[in-house]
């Protein structure tokens, strides 16, 4: 199957600093990628939809100025957590769908990034 | 708004027992349905998916799911679980539209004792 790679797998940062997470589709192009957040023992919550060449679409309650998304190419989307605080500590997961212009395609997920803000 | 409901939060079974995990969704249109598994410390893996056709879908590792449109359900089943099936299971739904995200259920933790 298609491969989606996230980097880093885990990161620890100090409160007030910013952290960038990369999501790459390694063997396909993805005009659309999705960013999810998973709290311990909970489900994946969609944060935003990342569209190549245009602004991301954020879900209700997600601060766009805090979670900056850039989708600069067909194989790379980045999520930057700005001025991170301990409550931003979570597991962040991206997904991408090959041939996003078509229906009935499976989404592939990155391995996730564990962010710990101290 | 779409939503996915998984009825069982934590299921504990002995090896060789049969498994059924419930999943119901709310969405008025055509949907794509998925079950994902997340083993401890690993990322999500697709177990099976339904787009159209035969409502009984067979996936990897002996899992299957049945789509019952009238009940808005997509329950996951396995006739005989193994210790290695211990994991978190997520049901997910997406509208049958290009470029739409998956909406996940809260997940079910399956613990299988040997």
- The domain that holds B9 is classified in CATH as 2.60.40.10
- CB-based contact A45:A38 (threshold 8 Å): yes
Closest B-chain CA to A1: B46
- Enumerate chain B positions whose Cβ falls within 8 A of a Cβ in A: 32, 34, 36, 42-44, 46, 49, 51-52, 90, 94, 96-99, 101-107, 109
Reply yes or no on whether the pLDDT at B49 is more than 90: yes
- Which domain does B19 fall in, by range? 3-113
CA-to-CA separations, A85 to A14, A64, A116, A117, in angstroms, rounded: 8, 15, 9, 6
pLDDT of residue B80: 97
Over residues B92-106, the mean pLDDT reads: 85
Six-digit token string for A46: 């969609």
What is the mean pLDDT of the segment spanning A72-85?
A: 94
Exposed, middle or buried: residue B86 (CB in 10 Å: 0-12, 13-18, 19+)?
A: middle
Cβ separation A44–B52 shorter than 8 A: no
Q: CA A35, CA A110: separation in Å to the nearest integer?
A: 10
Residue of B nearest to A114 (CA): B41
Output the CA–CA distances (angstroms, integers) from residue A77 to A68, A116, B21, in the order listed: 10, 21, 34
Give the residue from chain B lying closest to A52, CA to CA: B99
pLDDT above 90 (res A101): no
**pLDDT tens digits, residue range B64-86?**
999 999 999 999 999 999 999 99
Are A57 and A47 within 8 A, CB to CB? no
pLDDT at B20 over 70: yes
Nearest to residue B90, comparing CAs of B72, B112, B109? Answer: B109
Residue B64 β-bridge partners: B58, B77
Contact B107 A110 (CB under 8 A): no
Which range among A39-53, A101-115, B7-21 shows the weakest confidence by mean pLDDT? A101-115
Judged by CB atoms closer than 8 Å, whether chains meet at B99 and A95 is answered as no
Q: How confident is the model at residue A97 (pLDDT cuts 50, 70, 90)?
A: confident
The label of the residue with tokens 């600093």 reads A17
- Please give the Cα distance from B45 to A81 (Å, whole number): 26
What's the number of domains chain B is made of?
1
Identify the pLDDT of residue A35: 96
């Amino acid at each position: 199957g298609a491969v989606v790679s996230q980097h880093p797998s885990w990161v620890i940062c100090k409160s007030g600093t910013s952290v960038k997470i990369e999501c790459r589709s390694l063997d396909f192009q993805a005009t659309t990628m999705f960013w999810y957040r998973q709290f311990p023992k909970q489900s994946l919550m969609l944060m935003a939809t990342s569209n190549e060449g245009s602004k991301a679409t954020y879900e209700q309650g997600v601060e766009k100025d805090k979670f900056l998304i850039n989708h600069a190419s067909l194989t790379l989307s980045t999520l930057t957590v700005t001025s991170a605080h301990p409550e931003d500590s979570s597991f962040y997961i991206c997904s991408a769908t090959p041939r996003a212009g078509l229906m009935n395609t499976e989404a592939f997920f990155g391995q996730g990034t564990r962010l710990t803000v101290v | 708004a779409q939503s996915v409901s998984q009825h069982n939060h934590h299921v504990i079974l002995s090896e060789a027992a049969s498994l059924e995990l419930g999943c119901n969704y709310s969405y008025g249109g055509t949907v794509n349905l998925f079950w994902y598994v997340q083993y401890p410390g690993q990322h999500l893996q697709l177990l099976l998916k339904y787009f159209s056709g035969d409502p009984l879908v067979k996936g990897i590792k002996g899992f299957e799911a049945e789509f019952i449109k009238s009940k808005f359900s997509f329950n996951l089943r396995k006739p005989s679980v193994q210790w290695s099936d211990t994991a978190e299971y997520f049901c997910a739904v997406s509208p049958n539209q290009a470029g739409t995200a998956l909406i996940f259920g809260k997940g079910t933790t399956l613990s299988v004792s040997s």
